[in-house]
């Protein structure tokens, strides 16, 4: 009886080990991104979008949300990013029709609702633009893994900010991050072909 019990325990242990290995083997090979080991929900937040509507945790449910941070006066990274994302958007939507692209403004003082609306509509009217005062914005951006800081004291100050994208799953969990890569003779960027390929693999992985 003891031998049978011991054998059963060993078999259960082996089964759990094989299940773990199988799970590890299903993690996709990604080019410009990585999936978090333990996806977790975002802390409660409340922002406003380009129409003045509240944007909070409920707006993440049942949607893939691709976030990036910046400011409308950004001279280079933000317009380049928005142009690239707008070009990739049709293919990203074919993979996940419930995708929303969300531009987080780290400059609430200058980025009014009207300014955000004009700015985001110039690139893609389907995209969202959100912001809040720094008391709300800083913990939200930090929760996503973004950083930002004001540079300069006059009215023409700049905002240093992250250039990565963060992907939140339809469960409202921070699921993956897309990182920039150095290109010879160019500023670090996320290549659209790699973004689209990785996004497809991530969605399939999340869906099991």
Show the DSSP H helices in 68-153 as ranges: 77-95, 113-123, 134-144
Report DSSP state, residue 174.
Answer: E
Segments of 31-183 assigned E as strands: 33-41, 46-49, 54-56, 64-70, 99-105, 128-131, 148-151, 158-161, 165-168, 173-178, 181-183
Taking the model in full, what pTM does it have? 0.86
Q: In this predicted structure, what is the pLDDT of residue 1?
A: 53
Tell whether 12 is in a known binding site: no
* R_g of the chain, CA atoms, integer Å: 20
User: Which residue's entry shows tokens 């690139």?
Assistant: 123
Tell whether 134 is in a known binding site: no
Domains of the chain listed by start with CATH number: 29-207 (3.40.30.10)
63-83 pLDDT, tens digit each: 999 999 999 999 999 999 999
Look over the chain and give the mean of its residue pLDDT values, rounded to a whole number.
89
171-204 pLDDT, tens digit each: 999 999 999 987 676 767 899 999 999 999 999 9
Tell whether 74 is in a known binding site: yes
């Amino acid at each position: 009886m003891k031998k049978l019990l011991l054998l059963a325990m060993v078999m259960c242990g082996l089964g759990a080990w094989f299940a773990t290995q199988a799970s590890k083997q299903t993690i996709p090979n990604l080019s410009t991104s990585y999936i978090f080991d333990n996806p977790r929900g975002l802390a409660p937040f409340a922002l406003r979008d380009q129409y003045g509507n509240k944007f909070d945790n409920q707006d993440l449910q049942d949607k893939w949300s691709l976030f990036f941070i910046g400011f409308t006066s950004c001279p280079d990274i933000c317009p380049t990013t928005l142009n690239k994302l707008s070009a990739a958007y049709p293919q990203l939507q074919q993979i996940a029709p419930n995708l929303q692209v969300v531009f987080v403004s780290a400059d609430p003082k200058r980025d009014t609702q009207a300014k955000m609306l004009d700015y985001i509509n110039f690139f893609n009217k389907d995209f969202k633009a959100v912001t809040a005062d720094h008391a709300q914005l800083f913990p939200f951006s930090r929760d996503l893994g973004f950083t930002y800081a004001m540079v300069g004291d006059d009215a023409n100050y700049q905002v240093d900010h992250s250039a990565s994208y963060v992907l939140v799953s339809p469960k409202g969990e921070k699921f993956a991050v897309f990182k920039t890569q150095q290109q010879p003779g160019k500023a670090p960027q996320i290549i659209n072909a790699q973004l689209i390929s990785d996004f497809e693999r991530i969605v399939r992985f999340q869906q099991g």
